[in-house]
Structure 1
Amino acid sequence: MPGNFLLNPVDDKYHYNPDKDIPDLSSKVIVVTGGNNGVGKATVIELAKHNPQRLYLVARSQAKYDQAMVDVRAAAPTANVAFLELDLASFASVKKAADRILASNDRLDILINNAGVMGLPPGQTKEGYEIHFGTNHMGHALFTKLLLPLLLKTAEGGADVRILNLSSEGNMVAPKQSFLPDQLSSPMSDTHSYVRYGQSKLANILFSRELARRYPSILTTAVHPGRVATPLLDQMMATRSFTAYAQKAFDALSGILTPVQGAYTSLWAATWKRDEVQNGAYYAPWGKLMPGSKQIQDAELAKRLWDYTEQELKKHGYA
């Protein structure tokens, strides 16, 4: 069954092994945001081993790409892994990155919206959105919107096209009102950083559901990678809050995943047999289908978020 993932990739008694179960990707053009560290870099490395036509490692700077490529080249020395500069907190940067992809490719098969921020102090993106919501949701929403015509064109040609949005179990601490459109164009300074983060992660899931409903020719899913030792945890610990230290203690007792293990569910959702992956679904380790909270299942809420997002993008010239 798809839920049987392994912790040790050389243990054949388990069902899923990225080295064996990711198919040949030689016809695929793939984009992975936040591909320079953590789960994103592990995702890039595993995909690079399977000969993609072109794989974009998306990072905020050339230096971050160069550093990540040391490990990528060690694992897949002949892979075609290109640099794409992107700052999700800037719509201008998002537009520039999308334009480069559109100008350089006649197809796009897999879009993995992996990048994200967590536990940051109050702040805003360049367009004025709360920093977590603006980066994790609005930036990726615009990036997806701009790439959607190419994704749809590729799907029309009969290809297996997929969009994967990285979410988190943190969606469960989103505000009871689910998302707060009257506050999103502010730092939301009076709201705990985890709640602001949870709001953005709920948005990732709702956005995935609505994408799947509106564009069924593309297989869209949301994924929780698990509790993973990545730089995002470093951001959380930098807050020095009681919650951060409590979480660190919990992780020490219950265990925490490596970035490679954290990438397994993303890799599965992006490359596993299409008829065994549910469109619009939310998956957790290891590829476990999660019904989620009432908020996640709220189709009207997903539509409201979609409408809000479209209206905001239109305000900034992205109709």
Structure 2
Amino acid sequence: MDGLNVLITGSTTGLGLHTAKALYRKGANIIITCRDEVKGRKAVEEIASQNTAEQKEQQNENQRLHLYTLDITNYNSIVAFCDEIYKDFNKLHVIINNAGIMGWPFELSVDGIEMHFATNVFGHFAVCERLLPLLMHSDREDFKSRIIVIGSGLYKNAHSMPAIQKLLGEEGWDYNAKQAYAISKLGNCLYTVAMAKMLEQYDIDIYCVRPGFVNGTELGRETHWLLRALAYPLIWLIAKNLDQGIETIVYLSETSAEQLKNGGLYYDKKEENYNQMVNTTSIRQLWATLMHIEDAIFKRNPNLTESQKGTVYTIRDKLNESLIGFDENCHGDQ
């Protein structure tokens, strides 16, 4: 991983921070994102503290750590963040879509998107879309650029993708936080398979990983404290620790692409099949939803310049939607 530029969203706590530490130890340049700069600075210090005294003498301990502000639920923040990345980097090698929420009561983001979908799916789609040229410009013949999507086995609890109007709060629906989370995780799977097809022509891979039930994350922070307290003994018995939780993420970050399956879903460093919901119809529905939401933001957001909108249209032209398909050999009930 020496010299590779790795961007990790949601990297100030939990899996994101632990992954950042592991890849930093392996020599990668780590791009950390935060909404709270105080937490961001604390994360940088925590990652840098892994250096030995000798390493600290030989180099500036923070020269491989880069901290940026990013609110993944705010399109203006995403645009500003990506503009900053372009100023500071001319290439990226790995993007890890890690930031996420679970159990959130019904709420629309500042852009008017249901919060689970805004955080877990659309925000990461927008970041990767805008930064895609930096993945294409990789200068490492020994390493294939890649995107890693943090999913969840709970995607199996989603039986359909909701209508766009529901995700935008324009049509009422029987909202359930657990179901909304499952829908967003299904979205992660569908996005992975769609992008795998479209990125093949650019020699970029994408993988989805389900870390499993991991203790030490803040993913369930919206769950009532009493329920968390009652569940703690069970969590302590069956949950993975953070070291175990990031094993597959690190594996997908550093393993030669020849040993991995583009578009694959991984658990415990092994590929597994998607279920029957990951099919061509759902994939195309998800992609149409992402396009519609972004176009809607363009129409009603006065802060976006024509140049910023044009950047997206240029990148969309590079992604041939007709390539979106589905390998029937990669799915089946688990």
TM-score by length of 1: 0.84
Aligned to 1:134: 118
Aligned to 1:185: 168
Q: Alpha-carbon deviation of 1:182?
A: 2.7
Aligned to 1:20: none
Aligned to 2:323: none
Structure 1 residues 203-225: Cα deviation after superposition (integer angstroms, max 9, x where no partner): 01110111110011111011111
Aligned to 1:283: 266
Say whether the 8 Å CA contact 1:155–1:161 is kept in structure 2.
no
Give the 3 Å change call, closer, same or farther, for CA 237–226 of structure 1 in structure 2: farther
Gaps of 5+ in 1: 1-23
Say whether the 8 Å CA contact 2:106–2:115 is kept in structure 1.
yes
TM-score by length of 2: 0.80
Give the 3 Å change call, closer, same or farther, for CA 306–189 of structure 1 in structure 2: closer
Alignment counterpart, residue 222 of structure 2, candidates 232, 235, 244: 235
Aligned to 2:301: none
Alignment counterpart, residue 45 of structure 1, candidates 7, 13, 21: 21
More helix by share: 2
Q: Alpha-carbon deviation of 1:251?
A: 2.9
Alignment counterpart, residue 275 of structure 2, candidates 293, 313, 318: 293
Give the 3 Å change call, closer, same or farther, for CA 281–99 of structure 1 in structure 2: same
Q: Alpha-carbon deviation of 1:69?
A: 2.2
Alpha-carbon separation, structure 2, partners of 1:300 and 1:157? 36
* RMSD after superposition: 2.2
Structure 1 residues 141-200: Cα deviation after superposition (integer angstroms, max 9, x where no partner): 1011100122123279785101011111121222x2233323101296732101001111
Q: Secondary structure at the match of 1:235?
A: coil
Aligned to 2:302: none
Q: Pairwise mapping of residues 24-103 of structure 1 onto structure 2 (< 5 A)?
A: 24-26=1-3, 28-52=4-28, 54-76=29-51, 78=61, 80-103=64-87
Aligned to 2:255: 272
Q: Secondary structure at the match of 1:170?
A: helix
Aligned to 1:13: none
Gaps of 5+ in 2: 299-308, 314-334
Alpha-carbon separation, structure 1, partners of 2:125 and 2:195? 10
Which residue identity lines up with residue 120 of structure 1 in the other structure? Answer: W
Alignment counterpart, residue 223 of structure 1, candidates 206, 209, 212: 209
Alpha-carbon separation, structure 1, partners of 2:87 and 2:219? 32
- Pick the structure with greater CA Rg: 2
Alpha-carbon separation, structure 2, partners of 1:307 and 1:125? 20
Which residue identity lines up with residue 227 of structure 1 in the other structure? Answer: F
Q: Alpha-carbon deviation of 1:247?
A: 5.8
Alpha-carbon separation, structure 2, partners of 1:75 and 1:256? 25
Asked if 1:311 is matched to 2:292, the reply is yes
Q: Alpha-carbon deviation of 1:316?
A: 2.1
Q: Alpha-carbon deviation of 1:125?
A: 0.7
Identity %: 23
Q: Alpha-carbon deviation of 1:270?
A: 1.3
